[in-house]
Structure formats: C-alpha cells, structure tokens
Structure 1
Amino acid sequence: MQPDQPDIIAAIATPPGKGGVGIVRISGKNLAGIANAILGGLPKPRYAHFARFSDMRGEIIDEGLALYFPAPNSYTGEDVLELQGHGGPAIMNLLLNECLNCGARMARPGEFTLRAYLNQKLDLVQAESVADIIDASTSQAARCAARSLQGRFSETIDKLVQSLINLRMLIEATLDFPEEEIEDLHNEAVNKQLAELKTQLNDILVSAHQGYLLQEGIKAVLVGEPNVGKSSLLNQLAEDEVAIVTEIPGTTRDSIQKTITLSGVPVHIIDTAGLRETSDIVEQKGIERTQAAIRNADILIRLTDVSRDETHVKSKAMQVFSDDKLHINVFNKIDLIGLPARVESHENTVNVYLSAKTGSGIDLLREQILHAAGWQTGQAGEGLFMARQRHLEALKRTQVHLDKASEHGEQESEWVLLAEELRIAQDALSSITGRFTADDLLGEIFSRFCIGK
C-alpha cells in the first residue's frame, strides 16, 4: 500500500456532517501551485493566516485560516497545507474538489499516517495508536493510546530487542571465535540472561493484554434456556431497560447488544434467544444467531434458574456447546428461595449466585467478568499502553522461540540452534514497531484508518 511519494494527496480531515470548523489537509512535494491557485501564495510557515479560498475562476469558495508546514517539520514529513474553513459538507467538498482540480489526488484511508511512518516520523506502534485514540471508547483507553503515541510501548519493545541483540552478539561471537573467551560466556550465564529476557517479555505481555482489553473490550454472551432471566440480567448490568422482560418463553428472538464500562474496560454484553427445541421459524432463526454469538464470544455467561432445582442439569440445547470457552455459571432468582448472593470458585469453574430482579450479587458478577477476561485491576495505571491483536501474537511468537532457545542453552554443542531461535524471536519482536514488517501487513493496518488521517 505504499503511496507514490511524488503524488500530492488531499482529504477532508474533519468528521462528516455539519460543524463550526472543517479542515482540508494536503500533503506532498511542492505545494506552491495549489497554494497560489487557492490562496494567492504560500503562507508563512507555521503561522495561522486569515485567507479567502478561491476557485480557478477567482470566485470565493469560503474564508478561514491557512497553515503551512514545510518538510520535514510536519505530520507526514512532507510539505503540508491545512485549509480551515466553515464546517459544512457542501463547502468542504467544494474546497476539496478545488484541490483535486489543482493537481492533488484523493488520499486513501490512513495515507497521511502511512506517509508519516514511511518518512520515519512515527514507528508502526505510534502510527496505530493514532487510530486507537480516535476509536477509544473510554477515557482510560484514550489515555492508554496516548501513551503509545508518545512512544512508551515502542521504548519498552526496543529495550527488549536490544537485550536480545546483545545476547545474540555474544553467542555468535563465541561460535565464530571459539578459541577466544568472550566475556566468560558459559551455560549458566546464557541461561541467566535467557531467564531475564523471558521475565521481561512476560511483564510486557501482561501489560499488552491489559491494553488490548481496553481497546477491543470483552464480548460476553448471555446464554441459557428461556425464562431464566437473561434479559433481566442485561438490564441490571446496563443499568437501563434495554431488553423487554416478560413471563412468556421466547420473548427474546434476536440478539440484543449493549456496551457497558467496567473499571474503564468496555464490555459488550449480548442477550440472546433462549436455547430450546422449537418449531417456531422466527425463534429458530434467533437460536441460530445465538449460536453464532457463542462462537464469537470471549466469555459465556450461562444462566440457570436456581429456583427450578436444575442447577446440575444441562439441557439438550446447552449440551451442543463445548466447555473450551471461558464461562461463568450464573444461578439466578436466588430471591425466590432465600439464598444469599455469593461466588463459588472451583478448579475450572466459577459459580455466581444472584438475583437479576433485585440486583443482589450483580457487582459480584461484574468482578468475575473482568477476572475471567484476564483484567488485573491493580495494573490499570500509568504503566499500560495500547496493544492490538497482532502485537499479542508477535509477543507470543517471541515467547515460544525464547522457550525453544532455553532448551538449547544447556549444551554449548546446541548453541547454533540457540542463536537461530534468538534471531527468530528478535524478528517477531521487531515486527511490532515495524523494524521488520512485510508490506502486505502495512496495507492491512492502514486500510482500516479513516480517510484524512
């Protein structure tokens, strides 16, 4: 997705719709032609100038501010011109079209930030954090993305990469010059450095997972038979009357989603159609959507009506789903039989007893949702940085190859294999910041940006 660098690109950089101010952003080499046509000349660099924006016939399109940032001191590292006018869609489109008439082309999604990355104004993590700030759904996620934009995540990765390079250098020097003693390198020293690398990597992985949850949120699906209280539980968690609640089985025939925030983490709660055998075509369609939601869920919240005395029985509909998903067993309607709200934790199971009607035990469930997803409240502070799925995958690949490296660290006869595993681990880690990144990955990343960014 690399752009043709000589091209001049232009786009509206403000959101669609009406607003007090709208911005058209232009980037490329030698913007004097466009500036002369629209403004009558290039503005003084880095000063806001009041100007009238004209078309090719000399008619006034709008008036506002013009700002010029010559390369390399701009967002993209190229010459950048920003035209700030009134934020009406018609005015913005007229101004953009005039830029296109003067030789610019329409920017592709994310192309301004891609050029910033290619011109080494940002690394790949920082570039991604631009989109993460825009997409942040909570204030904590926004702060986390801002830390990544400032380079906190990149600095952490770069330090670990440098430690890997240092160890590789010593090992490969020992292999190339066996008659020399390279800093008294021996099995114990190698294993000690590998252990330190693995500890540092694990700390980064934990923090990155926290940041990933802040950005992507948690998909929690409410499943169970009809009339066990799924809709009532959704309303309690959302603290709003989101779903219709009746005594009639099969009331919920389609999935209902509501996003809530727990400790700054977005949680996407999905209420689904009750699972049962039915001949109703509409209800069958709802159950099919329930099955699809279950496949895409991070956590299953499996509801049972505790007052029915069937707490240890799975219906035929529930038996079709395996236990490989993270799940929380919720025993609802404790108010009907006088049970207290509580949590029971077993080896691989968590049971929450609550009342969706009265709200007793709802806070216990909120805590268990975060715990099941791996959220660690004590780490939700300044140390977090935004992370994406590809970052987690790269960190896990690094972890796998460091583990393999440890297996070869015991015997010097296997240090050739050790050196190769460290090289692969370094490549995986460097792909996070873009030091080692395939072009097709760049295309995938920047295509998801909005146009004008």
Structure 2
Amino acid sequence: MTEFSSDPIIAIATAPGRGGIGVIRISGAGLRGWADALCGQALTPRHAHYLPFRDRGGEIMDEGLALFFPGPHSYTGEDVLELQGHGGPAVLRRVLEDCLARGADMGLRLAQPGEFTQRAFLNDRLDLAQAEAVADLIEASSTAAARSAMASLSGAFSTEIDALSERIVRLRMLVEATLDFPEEEIDFLEKYQAAERLGAVSAALDCVLATARQGLVLREGLHVVLAGQPNVGKSSLLNALAGEDVAIVTPIAGTTRDRVVQQIHLDGIPLHIVDTAGLRETEDTVERIGIERSWAEIARAQVILHLQDARHPDDPLDAQIVQRLPAGVPVLRVWNKMDLLGHGTVPADGSIPGKSERHASREVDTPDNMPLRISAQTGAGLDALRARLLAIAGWTPGTESPWLARERHVRALEAARAHLEAAAMHAAHSDQVLDLFAEELRLTHEALCGITGQFTSDDLLGEIFSRFCIGK
C-alpha cells in the first residue's frame, strides 16, 4: 500500500460474483454536495433513500438505496456515501465507472486493498487491533472465531492492552519524577513498592498473553501433516477426520501421488490436515515427485502425524522416516489398523492393556511419548487423537477465547513480559540502576502500544492493510 493520501476513494464493497445486492462505497472529505448531485436529491444523513442510479446522460443504470454518513461519524471518519443496488458484476462496474467519471474533477480514485479501514484507523475511528479484527471477522472459518473476532472489533482486546499500559504509565510517572530528584532515588523502590507493583502487572500481563495465545490458535489453527509409508492408512485417516471421502483409498500402495488438503474444526479450532504421498524408495518418476513434495510439506508442518501399520511397528523404514523428520516439530506416533490385530475394541484413550511398547529408533515428541492406537476404518481411538491435537495446539476444550489475536500481538506481549522481567531484575539488585529500571518500563510500554498502533511503523501498517480485500 502506498502512503496515505486524502483523495476521495471508491470501490465495490461486496464480494466478487453475482448476488442479490451489490454495494459501492465512496469516502472522502467534503462529499456532501457531490453526493446530493450524484443522487439527484438532498440526502438526509443516515437515512436510506430509494432512488434510480442515473448516468451522466440521465439514463437509469440501476435502482436501489443511497445512504450518506457525514464525517466524523462514519466508518472511515470522513464523509461516506454507499450505493446499494443489484449485485450483478456488469451493473456494478457501470455504476462504478460513472461515479469515477463524475468525480474526476475532485480526484476520486479506486481504493486500494484495506484503504477504507486504514482511514478509519488513521482518523481514530478504530485502533490497530480493532482494524485487524475487521479482516479477521470476514475471514473467520467457525462460529467461535467469528464471535471472538467481533469481540476484538468491539474493543475487548484493546481494553485489556490499554489497562496494562495505564498501569505501566503510572509507574513510569513515579520513576521519571524520582529521576528528577536524585536524593529520592534511594527510597524509591521501597517507598512506592515498585517490586510489588511490577509483580501485579506481570501477573496481569501473563493472563492477557495466555488468552492471546488461545486467540491465535483460534484464528490460525494448526497445520497438520500425515506422514508415513504407503498403505498405512493416511488417506483413510484424513477421510475419517473430515467425515467424508476427500481422498482416494485403495489397497494399492502409492495411490496418493500428490498432497490432499482438508480443513476441519475441532472445538472451533481450524485444523488444516494434509495427506501426503507414501514415503519410500521408488523408480516411478511421478511417485518420486510426489514423495519430494511430501517431504517439503513435512518441513512446513506444525504437527506431524507419523502413521505406522500396527501389525509392523518395528519396520526399519519407519525408523528411517523418523530420523528425517524435522527437529522441534511435535510428532505424534500413530499405530493404525488396530482392528486387524484381533484385540477387539480399542479403548477411548488409544491404549491396549498389557500390550508392551516398542519405540522407534528416535524419540518423538508426544505428550506421553507413547504411540496412539487407532483404527481409521472403525473410528476407534480417534477421539483420543483429536484430544491430543488440541493439547498440542494449547487449546483447552470447552473454553472460548474472548478475542482473537495475531502472531504479532503474541510477540509484542512476549517482548513486554521480557522487559518487565528485566525491570524486576534491576529492582531486586540496586536502587542505583533506577535509570535502567525506567528504560525497561518505557520499552514495555512501547511494546504494548505497538499492538493498538500508537507506536507502529508505516511499513507494518502497509503490510497489515494490504492483506485486506478491496472495499474494506
């Protein structure tokens, strides 16, 4: 996105395609007279006017509703005109082009992605966290995510951040005042209970950080890759988790040649499940390309489900696969096809009483370092698998994040916590480092304010708003 300009802007605000209703949005300073002339009548603010949309020659292009919102009491903080007509692409383009021609003298131009919301932010109608929530609400893939995004848009997240910032500011004021009177430095930390205040703020920040992490999981979900030898049931597991046949399943090894992606929801959390080609040595050119893509997908995974045939848990090829799995990525060992072993029903937790454990040659990262036993065919053990995936995501089933968060929000909160810890260290050691104590408080405040946009670079703003759709 380019630098902010004050030119009036216009865009189709509804999604591309055909629909019953299409909306054209125009925003700019001093639009009142132009809007009245465009619509052929004086528009009462915040009232819907049913009228024909005529071109410059007087021909009716469409008919619908015109609504005028005078600034600063509008979405962008500027004068805003919305034309709500029929949702056909041809008629919307015609109205759009006519508006552009009639607004050329005042510099009316097409809006860039996110520019309406960017103006709302720059005109103090929304803070940055609320502005991001607009895009999150549009992109929400579950009811829980939509509800939390709406809470963020309403200011729930910003309220928490502002409360933390206010407590830091009060402490900073005391510190800065003391720095102006060096004779008071000796007594400051004890007199104003600086350590206790820091502890209380740190505890409050930890609560906000924990909720933000939940909100991040709810927004972004988890990228889960199914990996293993051919014919161990990866595609069957994908179908079982998705509840439909999204991948081809046959007894022939190597059926899957390319990745198959399916999004599912567990307790409102989006999981992006990727089925991959079976991992083995092969001379088949097409299959070899699929295997290379499998390893590339595994390298991008947030969680890897390493499927093994429960009838052959000590297969040397599985040990080789384990050795190649990326370090630092949670790996769930899953023994599939338990229904073919004759053990009867697999318990809900995936265990088999009395069954000895046999481990692969490399320890893998599961909550209990034990393989899960499932049957993708019968569905046995899948509830335990779902619970394990939610645990890895850091999600507590049955809870609901009060607001959504993004990766940058979590990082900013983590940075603020690190600066508070540094401030606490200075407070514990000596009153003679009060200037360092004050600096850490300043950096804490700056990190928090970056979330709501009080201290935010233009580059970051451009990155955030460029990801919006046009018309928002």
The TM tier, using the shorter chain, reads over 0.9
How far does residue 42 in structure 1 lie from its aligned partner after superposition? 3.6
How far does residue 347 in structure 1 lie from its aligned partner after superposition? 6.5
* Residue 398 (structure 1) aligns with: 416
* Residue 369 (structure 1) aligns with: 389
Unaligned 5+ segments in structure 2 are 352-364
Aligned positions of 1:220-235 closer than 5 A: 220-235=224-239
* Residue 324 (structure 1) aligns with: 328
Kindly provide the amino acid, as one letter, of the partner of residue 321 in structure 1.
L
CA contact (8 A) 2:165 2:445 kept: yes
Separation of aligned partners in 2, 1:17 and 1:217: 28
CA contact (8 A) 1:343 1:350 kept: no
* Residue 49 (structure 2) aligns with: 49
Query: 1:186 aligns to what SS in structure 2?
Result: helix
* Aligned partner (choices 337, 341, 350) of residue 341 of structure 2: 337
* Residue 359 (structure 2) aligns with: none
Kindly provide the amino acid, as one letter, of the partner of residue 319 in structure 2.
S
Separation of aligned partners in 2, 1:76 and 1:202: 34
Matched, 1:384 2:409: no
How far does residue 31 in structure 1 lie from its aligned partner after superposition? 1.9
How far does residue 56 in structure 1 lie from its aligned partner after superposition? 1.2
* Aligned partner (choices 217, 226, 241) of residue 213 of structure 1: 217
Separation of aligned partners in 2, 1:188 and 1:125: 33
Kindly provide the amino acid, as one letter, of the partner of residue 372 in structure 1.
I
How far does residue 74 in structure 1 lie from its aligned partner after superposition? 0.7
Change (3 A) 1:122 1:253: same
Kindly provide the amino acid, as one letter, of the partner of residue 190 in structure 2.
H
* Residue 61 (structure 1) aligns with: 61
Deviation by residue 1:330-366 (Cα, 9 ceiling, x = unmatched): 1111112234343579766353111111110011101
Query: 1:315 aligns to what SS in structure 2?
Result: helix
* Aligned partner (choices 429, 444, 458) of residue 439 of structure 1: 458
Of the structure 1 ranges 407-416 and 17-26, higher mean CA displacement relative to structure 2 is found in: 407-416
Runs of 4+ in 1 over 4 A off after TM superposition: 181-184, 343-348
Q: Percent same amino acid among aligned pairs?
A: 51
Unaligned 5+ segments in structure 1 are none
Give TM-score, length-normalised by structure 2: 0.91
* Residue 146 (structure 1) aligns with: 150
Separation of aligned partners in 1, 2:154 and 2:266: 26
Aligned positions of 1:121-160 closer than 5 A: 121-160=125-164
* Residue 358 (structure 2) aligns with: none
Deviation by residue 1:34-92 (Cα, 9 ceiling, x = unmatched): 42443113411111111111111121111111111111111111011111111111110
Separation of aligned partners in 2, 1:153 and 1:389: 14
Number of residues paired by the alignment?
450
Deviation by residue 1:358-381 (Cα, 9 ceiling, x = unmatched): 11001110111010111122532x
Kindly provide the amino acid, as one letter, of the partner of residue 386 in structure 2.
R
Query: 2:427 aligns to what SS in structure 1?
Result: coil
Change (3 A) 1:33 1:188: closer
Query: 2:85 aligns to what SS in structure 1?
Result: strand
Separation of aligned partners in 2, 1:32 and 1:183: 61
Deviation by residue 1:247-284 (Cα, 9 ceiling, x = unmatched): 22111111101111100111111111111122222112
Give TM-score, length-normalised by structure 1: 0.94
Change (3 A) 1:152 1:309: closer
CA contact (8 A) 2:145 2:404 kept: yes
Query: 1:283 aligns to what SS in structure 2?
Result: helix
Kindly provide the amino acid, as one letter, of the partner of residue 303 in structure 2.
I
Kindly provide the amino acid, as one letter, of the partner of residue 215 in structure 1.
R
Query: 1:253 aligns to what SS in structure 2?
Result: coil
Kindly provide the amino acid, as one letter, of the partner of residue 206 in structure 1.
A
* Aligned partner (choices 410, 426, 436) of residue 417 of structure 1: 436
The RMSD of aligned alpha carbons is: 2.0
Separation of aligned partners in 2, 1:121 and 1:429: 19
Kindly provide the amino acid, as one letter, of the partner of residue 405 in structure 1.
A
Of the structure 1 ranges 64-73 and 151-160, higher mean CA displacement relative to structure 2 is found in: 64-73
Change (3 A) 1:236 1:347: closer
Aligned positions of 1:77-116 closer than 5 A: 77-103=77-103, 104-116=108-120
